[in-house]
Each structure stands twice: as C-alpha cells, then as structure tokens.
Structure 1
Amino acid sequence: MDAYHRHDRTTEAHGWLVHLTSGTATREDGEAFRRWCAESEENALAFAEARALWEALGPAAALRKHERSSRARSGPTHRVRLTRRAFLGGAVAATAATFLMVRSDAFTRGSAPDGLTLRTNVGEQKTLRVAPGVSVEMNTDTDIAVRERGGVVTGMHLRDGEAVVRIDPSRKDPFVVEVADGRLFSEPGTAFAVRCTDEAATVTCLDGHTVINHDGTNTPVKPAQQVAFDATGTGAAVGVNLGTALSWRDRVLIYDNQPLADVVADINRYRPGRIVITDRTLGERRVHARFTLDQMGEVATLIQDAYGAHATHLPGGWVLLS
C-alpha cells in the first residue's frame, strides 16, 4: 500500500474512533463502522492501531498527536478535525441528552397524521390499555403510532421495537395492527407479539388466530408459530418456544445457538451506546447465552469473559469487541 492510501486509511480510522466517542453515533453509524472494518484487513488493522494508540496514550494525548501529524501532512483542509474537545466534550452527557430529546413518555400527542404516539425509553418496559378491550405490552425502545377515527382508537402502527398485543374476547370492533409494510387482522381473544427492526418484521402468535396481509397475500399464524417478513417477501410459519422467544417479558434474554453478532445487535436495544464487534470471526461464533435485563450495564464484560473477546470501553456506553 502506498503512503498516500495508508495515510488516508489511518485518517478514516481515527475519524471513526472520534465519532464513536462523540455521543452522537447512531445504530446506523455502528453498522456502517462494522461494514468499513469488514471491507479489508487494512481497514481493520488501521482501526486496531488507532485503538491501541487511544489505549496507550489516552484520548487527549492520542488526538493531539494525530492532529499535529494531520496538519503537517494535509494542511488545514484535512477531512477530520481531531481535537481534544471532540473526545472530551461531554460524550456521556450528549448521549443522555439525545435520549431525552428523542424519547418521551407514553401517550404523547404527535403531529398529523400520526396523532397519538406511544413510546418507551431504552431499557424501559410498560403495559398500557390503548382501547377498550385492547392492551399493549411494550418492550424497550419501542415506537407506536395509534390509529384513530372520529376520536375512536381503531388500531396501531408499530414503527420500531417490539410489543405484545392482547385483544379481549369481549371486544367486538376490529383492531388492526400495522407492522413494517404488513397488516394484521385478529379475532377477539387473540394475543400476539410483533417486532420491527430495520424494516424486517416478525409476528408470533400466543393465543387465538391472526392473519398477516403482506404484499397481497394472507398468511395465517397459529399459537406457538412465528412468521417473518420484509420487502423481499413472507417466510413460512415456524414453530417457536414462546418462553424463549418472548423471554423479555420476564426481563430475561435467551439466545440459543445464534451468531454472536445477532446477539449483540439484540442486546444493543436494551442499553445506551453501542456494542460493536470489529472481528468477523468473533461475530460469526455461535453462542448459547442467558442475560437478565439487570445485567445490561455489564453485559459487554460478561461477553468478554465468556468468549475470550478483547473489549475497548469508550465514552457514551460504546464498547468495541475484537
């Protein structure tokens, strides 16, 4: 690799390190960073060197050294301005403020056309009576728009997150649930779980009978069955262990022979900041794990100890695993 591209890659690596510790990084940023590391061994090595510098010299010293080097090589127009303030300018406080600004208590009045909005914070769970004969048990970081007609609640749209909807046997009026680009129609006495993350959805039936209308096709879901769907189509109904699939209702997360990358992606929904796996082999490792929601503050250390990973803890709840 020539000196120009090596310097360019080093600058990108330091830029990622600054952004991940800024308190403004999002879930999408975490995924983009993971993809950047996976693009080439050179990218991963450049970030490993940047991280080693961060660990050896501390954030302020490392950034001052890199800033002087960048100015000498690139002049005043280099792409990433790495200042001491970028690292130390209240990353943890910024992260907390972000959650306070974006999230609000349940039952807040939004702007048209969404109207009534139900939300839970990261790590928060709550159960609400949203309409006569309809209760919704909301999991962490969930966003629901309530559908109304003439002041009467007729349904809901799960925009992000996870919830269990229970329709009492006594309810006579329909209650339509929208999730991703699908719609669910259920009989009275039905209970089902819906989940939507990154435009992919799953429906898990607990009791009764529900039907998914997606892309012009109706797919029935029976008790202890789960159906997944996204923009590419609808999968077949598969049997699931309800105790495992919905263990979050008991404040427990259970993972059975799943890639560690998928486990971490799910855990990230329950804690501020992000855990990012920078090693592809580690992310592909199949694991069996059980965590309580009370362990979310130390879960990165538990993963580190259990699977021999190396953890770099950054401000704002960000942890890099390799």
Structure 2
Amino acid sequence: MPILDHMAHRRAALHKEAQHWLLRLTSGTANAHDARAFEHWCGQSPAHMEAFAETRRMWENLGPAAHAWMAGERTRAAAQSNRTATWPRMSRRAFLGAAVTASAALVVMHPPLQMWPSLSDMAADYRTATGEQREVDLGQGIVVQMNTQTTINLRKSEGRMSGIDLLSGEIQVKATGVADGPISVYAGGGRIDVGMMGKCNVRCDDSGVQVTGLDGATTLHYQGQIAVLKAAQRADYNNGSVGQVVPADVEATMAWRRRVLIFDGQTLTEVVREINRYRPGRIILANDGLATRKVQARFSLNQLADVAALIKDAYGAKVTSLPGGIVILS
C-alpha cells in the first residue's frame, strides 16, 4: 500500500475509534475502568489525541444539522403514517447511512461527558452554559437567578406566565412585592409553590430535587405528599417520596451566588462531580482509593482551572490532561 494511502487509512481508523470513545463515555458516568482504558488509548500517540480532539469538534458542529435532520424525520414520519402501500426493502448502504445519521443525532441529543448542549437544551426558553450564571427578570414580579448548566422553560396561560419548568440545573426564585401571586416551579415530577415575597433555591439533578427555603413560605407537592418549608429549611424528593424537612446550610447552598463552592465532608467523588458542573471538559476520577476520601475545602470558581493541581498536591493523585478539557485523576 502506498505511504499516503496507508496514512489516510490509519487516520480514518483513528477517527472511527475516537467516535466510539465519544459514544462509550456518554452522559458523564464513565467508571474508573473506562477512564483508564481511554487514557491508555489516548496515550498511544499524539495522533490518537488529535483524532479525539477533531472528532469532538465535529460533533459540536452537528447542532444545526441535527435540527434539520429531526425536522426531516418528523416530515417523513407523517408521510409514512398516511401510506398504505408496502415499503420497499432498504438496502444495506441505506441502512448503514441511516444508522450513522441516527448515531450522530443521538450524540447531539445526549452529549458525551455533557461537553456541549443537548438539543433539548438548545431549544429551551432560557439556559446557561458551563460556568455561566445569569439573572432573568421574567416580569410579573418574578426574578430568577440561574446557576451553571441550567435549563428552564416557561409555562404560559392566556399570554401570561403561569409557571417555570426547571428541566435541569439550579435556580433561585424570588417573588417580589409586585408579584401577582405565588409562582410554581415544576421539577422532577413535583411542584414547588413560592409564596408572595418568598424566595427559595431549587436544584434538579440525577439524584433528585433539592429545595431550600430562603424567605417566606415554600410548599412542595410531590405524588400526593406535601411539605412546607420556612426560611433556612430544606427538603428533597425523588423516587416517589419526600424527605424530612431539615435545617439547611444556607451558606453552602447559596455559595454559588458568590461564585464559591464549599465542601464540608463530601467524598472526592462528590467534589469532582460538582466541580464538573462549572468547568469545560470533564475531570474523571480513576483512582478507587481516592474516591471515598473526605474533603474540607472552599474553591472560588475562578480557581477551577487549577483544581486538578490542587487535588494532586493534597492527595497525591496523578494528573493526565487530554484533549477536549478532559483530565484524568489516577
């Protein structure tokens, strides 16, 4: 095989392997075995790392294309439902092409390692990017502070806002003195009613919904259960039940408003998971011995670029930096 043809073949093979890694590392739940295997793959040569970086950039640019693809699929689905004739058999090439397109759309809808917004995020009324925080005045006396990686939609009735859907992330909701009445936040299958002049913090993630009362009265409704929170009280709900109302650490809960993260006895696994919400790329903890270590720390969000080095100094972890902002701690 000519040298140039061999190089082109090898480059194509590396990009195919990189695409498989993007799919394998989906959702940010890669385990220690995956992290070590990925580290080994990237460490084989600079060409491996460059292939992964190029593949990631390619997927990032799929957003507009995926929107168009999904619109086309909806049109084709509608046309199919009206047909009565037997469909012709799909060729192998057409089948493979459809599979590749579907895989591309899947990666856009469920981004590997959450390294870019999903389609649902991009279509939301309001969203914040990784590390971004913003204030949104929704009118009608309602002000929402949005933390990093947060997505919300607005419910409207007769042209007026009737509620907020928190799809993911964390918000602080405040009903000012000019609010028309209580405002409802819908999250994780439940409803949180924020009373007049009330304020609360709501976080919705894979572990469930955590609600902290900050001012006034906040009422939770979840699968027939009700809990009322006063200021500095917290309750969580998930998996069909509402937890007990307990005193809240308001300083830790609201530290994000001061662009600070406070950890008081959390495991290093929990710390890394939280830090990943605020920094581009992903930190992957691949050392089972470090995963359960308890952490007492306070980080400014401006420090997060150096957080891997801080963990290395504190716990002796080996730090490996890879393309796409991925850092492996082993």
Query: Same fold per TM (> 0.5)?
Result: yes
**CA shift digits 1:242-273 (9 cap, x unpaired):** 11121000001111110110111111111121
How far off its partner does 1:186 sit?
2.5
Partner in structure 2 of residue 58 of structure 1? 45
1:14-36 alpha-carbon deviations (Å, 9 max, x no partner): 99x946975x77662x31x21xx
Contact kept? 2:284, 2:328, Cα under 8 Å: yes
Q: Secondary structure at the match of 2:125?
A: strand
Q: Which runs of 5+ in 2 are unaligned?
A: 1-13, 64-114
Q: How has the CA–CA distance of structure 1 residues 214 and 101 changed in structure 2, closer, same or farther, with 3 Å as cutoff?
A: closer
Q: Secondary structure at the match of 1:223?
A: coil
Q: Does 1:269 align with 2:277?
A: yes
**5+ unaligned residues in a row in structure 1: which ranges?**
1-13, 38-42, 64-83, 111-115
Aligned residues: 265
Contact 1:191 1:207 (C-alpha < 8 Å) held by counterparts: yes
2:322 and 2:55 map into 1 onto residues whose CA distance is 12
1:128 pairs with one of 96, 120, 136 = 136
**Residue of structure 1 in register with 2:210 after alignment:** 202
Aligned partners of 2:45, 2:275: CA distance in 1, in Å?
A: 28
Query: Residue 206 of structure 1: CA displacement?
Result: 0.6
Asked whether the equivalents of residues 50 and 323 of structure 2 are also in contact (C-alpha less than 8 Å), the reply is no
2:285 partner amino acid: I
Matched residue, 2:88: none
What is residue 179 of structure 1 aligned with on the other side? 187
Q: Deviations over 1:154-190 (max 9, x none)?
A: 1101000001000013323331111111101222010
1:112-165 deviation digits (Å, cap 9, x = unpaired) = xxxx71111111101111121110000001000111011101110100000100
Give the counterpart of 2:221 among 194, 197, 213: 213
Matching residue of 1:89? 54
Counterpart mapping for 1:263-302 below 5 A: 263-302=271-310
Change beyond 3 A, Cα 1:199–1:52: closer
Equivalence for 1:193: 201
Q: Which residue of 2 aligns with 1:250?
A: 258
TM-score by length of 1: 0.73
Secondary structure of 2:311 counterpart: helix
Residues 96, 198 of structure 1: CA spacing in aligned structure 2 closer, same or farther, 3 A cutoff?
farther
CA contact (8 A) 1:199 1:230 kept: yes
Change (3 A) 1:215 1:100: closer
Q: Distance in 2 between matches of 1:96 and 1:316?
A: 14
CA contact (8 A) 2:53 2:324 kept: no
- Measured on the aligned residues, the alpha-carbon RMSD in Å equals 3.1
Q: Which amino acid aligns with 1:51?
A: E
Deviations 1:50-88, CA, capped at 9 Å, x for gaps: 735754x5343xx5xxxxxxxxxxxxxxxxxxxx87435
> 1:160, 1:288 → 2: CA distance?
27
Distance 1:102 1:276, change over 3 A: same
Matches within 5 A, 1:1-322: 18=18, 28=27, 30-31=28-29, 33-34=30-31, 37=32, 43=33, 48=36, 51=39, 54-55=42-43, 57-60=44-47, 86-87=51-52, 89=54, 91=56, 102=118, 110=123, 117-198=125-206, 200-322=208-330
For residues 55 and 19 of structure 2, the distance between their equivalents in structure 1, rounded to whole angstroms, comes to 13
SS of residue paired to 1:269:
coil
User: Partner of 2:277: helix, strand, or coil?
Assistant: helix
Cα separation, partners in 2 of 1:261 and 1:161, compared to 1, 3 Å: same
Identity of aligned residues (%): 34
